[in-house]
Structure 1
Amino acid sequence: MNKPLADRIRPTTIDDVVGQQHILGKGKILRNIIESGKIPNMIFYGLSGTGKTTVANIAANTSHKALYRLNATNASVADVKAIVKESEGLLGQDGVLLYLDEIQNFNKKQQQSLLEYTENGRITLIASTTENPYFCVYNAILSRSTVFEFKALLPEDIEHALKRALDILQKEDFPKNKLIVEDGVLRHMAEKSGGDLRKALNALELAANYTIPDEKNQICLTMETAQQCTQKKVFQYDKDGDSHYDILSAFQKSIRGSDPDAAVHYLARLIAADDIQSICRRLMVIACEDVGLAYPSAITIVKACVDSALMLGFPEARIPLAQAVILLATAPKSNASYMAINSALYDLEHIDTGTIPRQLQNKHYDGEGNVEKGQNYLYPHDYPNHYVPQQYLPDKIRDKIYYVPGNNKQEQAAKEYWDKIKKK
């Protein structure tokens, strides 16, 4: 059975690895580590198809250690122990390098089992994960490892690799045919892969294998063929992973920054991922956190758009969602209420705020032992403008200011009104 193209094109030297120049370029730390042959415990973190397995293979070769591979999705502690036992023989005389893929699928106890062997040097661990290791990898392993982030590949990096793959296909799979590729085909595949080289290679292999040769025995890879093999652009999106939170973060920050174009772009990404719940939840938060009192009606309008979207479902839901996004992005901004409640909660956690003033307590009668008689609460509606000066905060924080009006028309108008009433 022929090996997949992605395996056949796998580089054996650092110079052949595409992308990741921030860690593999000349003089960069990971490159220096690999070239030294002295491999420490490492964690490779990044999206699929960005070269983590390839670099681990190269590291193992330069270290001259016996390489073992496990995938945490279906491996167990027993598999790790079996590798340790094998390392006691001739194969492990120079040490063992264990490449553990998808380490996030090992629970805490399973990850802890690795510590004993990494600490005594029986195993050098290179673990990979598509999720943030600071959230999914046990702290003791993190503290004993160096973390390297593998970034999504650029289209030009992927296109370069596709050209090498095309040569391999021509020599190994189609020696009697001539592969002809229309201009733009490889670039199209690269751009549709979402930074995942493996996806692009699979598309190229699919196109080559299932395109019927013409009368000249030529296999012509056209743009139409490329479009059929790639179908929909790949989005690196995992509802429980980093890409999910990165897009949501960019979404909210674009709205907060009053950039409707960027906000609609990130909305489109979320829609492409069919993540309506996250969109709706985040819009409700933004309406209160970032627009807030500068446009108090925003939450009402956004709630109506959200309800409509949930009732309609995709694809029609994109319309009220876009309306809500553009409304929030172009609305005046205030985080005054957000800052006020955060400040109040901070004080509750960190300082003694004292007791509620007597006039605000729910006092209906005074016991015999009470020196102070009467609640002395002043009912504001009995006074002009429904206001009367009165202490509401506890004594210990009586002069504390939590709410600072934002510099917008709505809040400034309210401030002007109350400054006049309170005669400040």
Structure 2
Amino acid sequence: MTSSQPEGLFDFPGAGPDPGPAPVPPGDGARQPLAVRMRPRSLDEVVGQRHLLGPGTPIRQLVDRDAPMSLVLWGPPGTGKTTLATVVSHVTSRRFVEISAVSDGVKRVRAEIDLARRELGMSGRQTLLFVDEVHRFNKAQQDALLPAVENRWVSFIGATTENPFFSVISPLLSRSLLLTLEPLGEDELREVVRRAVADERGLDGRVELDAAAEDHLIRLAGGDARRTLTYLEAAALAVGRDGGDGAPARIGVEVLERAVDRAAVRYDREGDQHYDVISAFIKSIRGSDADAALHYLARMIEAGEDPRFIARRLIVHASEDIGMADPTALQTAIAAAHAVEFVGLPEARINLAQAVIHLSLAPKSNAVVTAVDAALGDVRKGDAGPVPGHLRDAHYKGAARIGHGEGYKYAHDYPGGVVQQQYAPDTIHGRRYYRPTRHGAEARFSDVLARIRSVLRGGKGPDGGRAGGHE
């Protein structure tokens, strides 16, 4: 039987009817990491992942029925994959075996399966086989698990941080229930921290955590509860056992910074810093200063800013300040946003940085936003005349009798697919909204647009007036 270190879901003192494992002797417990000492003893004690643990959810049903199961747990590090497997083993009295796909191979897998079959045959006791980092097993190694899962010789739980549809073989995935774990939210992480500070199995009230230090700790965690408690323990060791006269030792931001070697970024996501930094970020990209833009990106990431917010701002900027000068900028920004959703931090920092560099170095043009705003301005002030008769819908019976579609010229019937014809209502006929610059790729589009406008206007060249003006 192999013990395991939990991944980041922690217990509530005194919660739940299940007493769980016997207490660890003081001597051994003092040497265990804080994350291990605060491991849950029942599902009711788990913090986070409520969507997986509430009444009627798959894990609850499988635990309550004590039936053989096959699960694949998919989620970022520190969200509780190992913890859930361990707790399920405890509350169902299964024999728990942990295999690491990093260090164990097929020989170990087959040996544990044979032992599980003998245990099931002799005593009827089931085995929960937990394979951590199951995506690191190759196809042949994952194939070795199939007979045990198929015949229910074991209850199988596989944990992966990578998309199982790409990293787990289809036969194993089809025989398993896929459960997705989410990073812990701020409130959940605060609960983890505060219970660890107060609980007798944790720091037992020997330290106090300043509000600012707690905020910094939560930002550093990035949704990873195990990392949160690792940093908290380092800070607690840095201040000693008490603050003198039996008073709790106080952990401030400075202590935490020294303990984890990470400076606290002064950044309030709902205050001035949020707006000031994002403003400087966008203006640096607009000004083509990639280095400054990367600095502000790093500040936001380090301060725990929502990466989806950063990605959304890049998407807007790609059209607002670059537009047709480099049409690929929008594609890059959208790809970075997809990467944020698909990969998540910390890896997605690279995708965001690539987008920032691309947008910073791209030629700039605000012709797109100027064009659409000029068009909106005209519509809002009432310049929205009737649609020309030859452009109106002529597909219904009787349309021809009222002149709809009469005289319409089908563009594909003419050289170059462009023909002289009025498309705009009379009230804005000849008005120009899009005025391309000569920057980057937009110079080429400017030439194309000039030729098209010349044909549409019967050979008349473009005017030199302002957007929204008339010929």
Above 0.5 in TM-score? yes
The residue number in structure 2 matching 1:167 is 198
Secondary structure of the corresponding residue to residue 211 of structure 2: coil
Alpha carbons 1:294, 1:408 under 8 Å: kept: no
Note the C-alpha offset of 1:103.
0.7
The residue number in structure 2 matching 1:135 is 166
The residue number in structure 2 matching 1:65 is 94
- Alignment of 1:332 with 2:361, yes or no, is no
Q: Using the alignment, how far apart are the partners of 1:186 and 1:164 within structure 2?
A: 13
Secondary structure of the corresponding residue to residue 216 of structure 2: helix
Partner amino acid for 2:47?
V
Q: Using the alignment, how far apart are the partners of 2:41 and 2:71 within structure 1?
A: 19
Q: Using the alignment, how far apart are the partners of 1:45 and 1:210 within structure 2?
A: 35
Secondary structure of the corresponding residue to residue 125 of structure 1: strand
- Alignment of 1:31 with 2:60, yes or no, is yes
Mapping of residues 88-167 of structure 1, within 5 Å: 88-90=117-119, 93-167=124-198
Mapping of residues 79-90 of structure 1, within 5 Å: 79-90=108-119
Cα 1:96–1:186, aligned 2, differ >3 Å: closer, same or farther? same
Q: Using the alignment, how far apart are the partners of 2:238 and 2:323 within structure 1?
A: 59
The residue number in structure 1 matching 2:385 is none
The residue number in structure 1 matching 2:34 is 5
User: In the TM superposition, what whole-angstrom CA distance separates every residue of 1:174-217 from its partner, at most 9, and x where no partner exists?
Assistant: 77x84333334334312220000011101111111231344424
The residue number in structure 2 matching 1:15 is 44
The residue number in structure 1 matching 2:255 is 225
Partner amino acid for 2:325?
P
In structure 1, stretches of 5+ residues that fail to align are: 235-254, 274-281, 301-313, 334-388, 393-406
Secondary structure of the corresponding residue to residue 232 of structure 1: coil
Cα 1:412–1:329, aligned 2, differ >3 Å: closer, same or farther? closer
Alpha carbons 1:298, 1:328 under 8 Å: kept: no
Note the C-alpha offset of 1:130.
0.9
Secondary structure of the corresponding residue to residue 357 of structure 2: helix
Secondary structure of the corresponding residue to residue 131 of structure 2: strand
Alpha carbons 2:69, 2:156 under 8 Å: kept: yes
The residue number in structure 2 matching 1:417 is 451
Q: Using the alignment, how far apart are the partners of 2:365 and 2:57 within structure 1?
A: 41
Cα 1:20–1:267, aligned 2, differ >3 Å: closer, same or farther? farther
Partner amino acid for 2:70?
N
Percentage identity across aligned positions? 24
- Alignment of 1:208 with 2:236, yes or no, is yes
Partner amino acid for 1:75?
D
Q: How many corresponding residue pairs?
A: 301
Alpha carbons 1:162, 1:201 under 8 Å: kept: yes
Cα 1:331–1:214, aligned 2, differ >3 Å: closer, same or farther? farther
Superposed CA RMSD in Å reads 4.5
Q: Using the alignment, how far apart are the partners of 1:164 and 1:147 within structure 2?
A: 30
Q: Using the alignment, how far apart are the partners of 1:155 and 1:16 within structure 2?
A: 18
Note the C-alpha offset of 1:292.
12
Cα 1:293–1:326, aligned 2, differ >3 Å: closer, same or farther? closer
Alpha carbons 1:97, 1:124 under 8 Å: kept: yes
Secondary structure of the corresponding residue to residue 128 of structure 1: strand
Partner amino acid for 1:86?
L
User: In the TM superposition, what whole-angstrom CA distance separates every residue of 1:258-317 from its partner, at most 9, and x where no partner exists?
Assistant: 999xxx7998269969xxxxxxxx9xxx99x979995236779xxxxxxxxxxxxx9xx9
The residue number in structure 2 matching 1:55 is 84
